[in-house]
Structure 1
Amino acid sequence: MTTTDTTGALVAAAPARGGAEPAALGWLSCARGQFLLSWRVFWRNRRSTFIGFLLPVLLNLVVAAPLRTKEIAGVNAAGYTTVGFIGLALVTSFINLLNGVVARRDDLVLKRLRGTEVPATAIFAGQIGAGGAVVLLQVLVLGGVSVGWFGTPLPADPLLFLLVLAGGYLLFAVLAVALSGVTPSAEAAPMVATPVLLVCMFGSGVVAPLASMPGWLQTPAHVLPLAPVVESLRTAWFGRGFGHESWSGAPLAELDLLHGWLHAAPSLLMIAAWVAAAAVLGRRLFRWEPRRG
């Protein structure tokens, strides 16, 4: 095994059969154990730390910083781009989750855990929860840079922002579990993950408005999984109706909280549809054991 220490610790975290611990407390204990182990493994792996945490932060500094004196749709262009990179952080978390699930499957960790009392939902809740904690840390770093350096205001609707962030993270987490079923090995995981990263980064409005793309690409781009997330994150942060802005367009009108939610509703429904589709795909494709042949 290439991850003997992690494998042994994960299996050791499973409760013995026949315990008298209440089901709910047992589930929480299992999920907590998976969370702590996944958290430690993430920060010990330099590759996962770079891709999953540093990459969006560094890219944002390179791309957004030169835009801090410009505006787009009435808001600071650097802050506009920073919110896009918060959305991209969800995709880099997808890459690490995909790598992690495939590696644990190939090392037979998942198979061993399935033979214990650890619920399947607790196995993934812990791993996905650790990835979510990393994303929240990235939001604090990117948001702090945006507010403290670029002069961006605080989010206009924090509740909507957190809801969209949670929905977007769930979407890419479930998608990672689903696509692990068609990923033959941990070595092949980048071949599956990299196209997703590139398409989402350059086709979902992370760096530039979708209106700057050729007309025939704009409609497909709007239905990519990250596009409604980025659009709604910007609406929640700046309190304006983003989605069809352009570099040379007039400033967007400010929205109150109610109209902000109404504007974000179609994007929220699209995110929910993507989550449902990824869940169905996961049920069909996910494997507990390594792929053969």
Structure 2
Amino acid sequence: MRELVAVARFGGRIYWRDRVAVSTSVALSLGLGIGLPVLFSKLGEDVPVLATHLGLLGMLVTLTALNQAAVSLSARRDQLILKRMRATGLRDRDILGGELVNITLQSTLVAVAISVVLYATGTVPPPAQPVVFLVFVVAGAGVLALLGAAFTAAISRAEIASVMAMPFFLLAGVGGGGFGPMLKLLPEWVQSAFGLLPSTALVRALTIAHEGGAWSGYLMPALNLAIWAVIGLAAIKLWFRWESRKS
């Protein structure tokens, strides 16, 4: 556990010193996550501000967790940082686990910051079940970061990682409602397919937490995230690469 925490702290220091990560992941997320709901709240009562906020959270957690994990771990791999860390005697699970804990924490902090600002300004009401809301934000960020790590197996070079991961951000926006009610314009089978995404399950769980729904309503989102977590772990075990192909 001590080694995992040390790797997470190391990753956090690198994260906040990375101007690209801070500008694209943090600044962009805060700007979109706060700016759009505030703007929509000025347009009238007919605009679904809360639904937009929750849909944006699904998008932005995907950006700050899955996309960031794919970009960061691809860069660490190609720079041989992961290989050197293994050479120190650290266990694989501590290295990868520490990186993912750091990314999950950063993603959660961004989502919480967005939400707190919107609650404080009265743009959206706070959730009826705030603890459950936070639990699912952490769980969703963790699962998406895990999937981002698994996706690095398909990324040949770190330079193209952000481009290759971007479709997941866009899919999360459509499936969760971050781009508005676009999903309703699509055929039912497409809507059902989008419903299987982990980001969509996250938005559903956050919606239930906001409304104070029955506990049974969390079953399907939790099951969805658990299945994706198993898929991510299996993919990492089978295909994750600790060093670049060139090396």
Q: Partners of 2:29 and 2:185 in 1: how far apart?
A: 22
Q: Partners of 1:191 and 1:117 in 2: how far apart?
A: 33
Alignment of 1:252-271 (within 5 A): 255=213, 259=214, 261-271=215-225
| Equivalent in the alignment of 1:51 | 24
Structure showing greater radius of gyration is 1
CA drift of 1:138 comes to 1.3
Instruction: Tell me which amino acid in the other structure corresponds to 1:83.
Output: L
So what's the TM-score if we normalise by structure 1? 0.76
Instruction: Out of 94-103 and 153-162, give the one that drifted further.
Output: 153-162
Q: Give yes or no for the alignment of 1:109 onto 2:81.
A: yes
Q: Partners of 2:117 and 2:50 in 1: how far apart?
A: 9
Q: Give yes or no for the alignment of 1:38 onto 2:6.
A: no
Instruction: Tell me which amino acid in the other structure corresponds to 2:132.
Output: L
| Equivalent in the alignment of 2:161 | 189
Instruction: Tell me which amino acid in the other structure corresponds to 2:56.
Output: F
CA drift of 1:213 comes to 2.8
CA drift of 1:227 comes to 0.6
CA drift of 1:149 comes to 1.8
| Equivalent in the alignment of 2:193 | 220
So what's the TM-score if we normalise by structure 2? 0.89
Q: Partners of 1:65 and 1:153 in 2: how far apart?
A: 13
Question: Any conservation in 2 of the 1:32–1:126 contact (CA below 8 Å)?
Answer: yes
Deviations 1:19-75 (A, max 9, x none): xxxxxxxx41x2232122211211111110122212222113442223215457xxx
| Equivalent in the alignment of 2:176 | 204
Q: Give yes or no for the alignment of 1:123 onto 2:123.
A: no
Q: Return 5+ residue gaps in structure 1 as ranges.
A: 1-26, 240-254
Q: Return 5+ residue gaps in structure 2 as ranges.
A: none
Q: Partners of 2:203 and 2:36 in 1: how far apart?
A: 16
Distance 1:209 1:37, change over 3 A: same
Q: Partners of 1:225 and 1:100 in 2: how far apart?
A: 21
Instruction: Out of 148-157 and 89-98, give the one that drifted further.
Output: 148-157
CA drift of 1:292 comes to 4.1
Q: Give yes or no for the alignment of 1:80 onto 2:80.
A: no
Distance 1:48 1:81, change over 3 A: same
Instruction: Tell me which amino acid in the other structure corresponds to 2:7.
Output: Q
Q: Partners of 1:86 and 1:263 in 2: how far apart?
A: 19
| Equivalent in the alignment of 1:162 | 134
Instruction: Tell me which amino acid in the other structure corresponds to 1:264.
Output: Y
Deviations 1:167-222 (A, max 9, x none): 21121111111111111111020232111111112233224246533233211111
Q: Partners of 1:56 and 1:131 in 2: how far apart?
A: 14
Distance 1:95 1:235, change over 3 A: same
SS at match of 2:158: coil
Counting matched residue pairs gives: 244
Instruction: Tell me which amino acid in the other structure corresponds to 1:170.
Output: G
Q: Give yes or no for the alignment of 1:235 onto 2:208.
A: yes
Instruction: Tell me which amino acid in the other structure corresponds to 2:49.
Output: A
Q: Partners of 2:48 and 2:120 in 1: how far apart?
A: 15
Question: Any conservation in 1 of the 2:61–2:107 contact (CA below 8 Å)?
Answer: yes
Q: Partners of 1:141 and 1:220 in 2: how far apart?
A: 31
Relative contact order (alpha carbons < 8 A, sep ≥ 6): 1 or 2 greater? 2
CA drift of 1:140 comes to 2.8
CA drift of 1:291 comes to 1.9
Question: Any conservation in 1 of the 2:136–2:206 contact (CA below 8 Å)?
Answer: yes
Question: Any conservation in 2 of the 1:206–1:230 contact (CA below 8 Å)?
Answer: no
Distance 1:102 1:56, change over 3 A: same
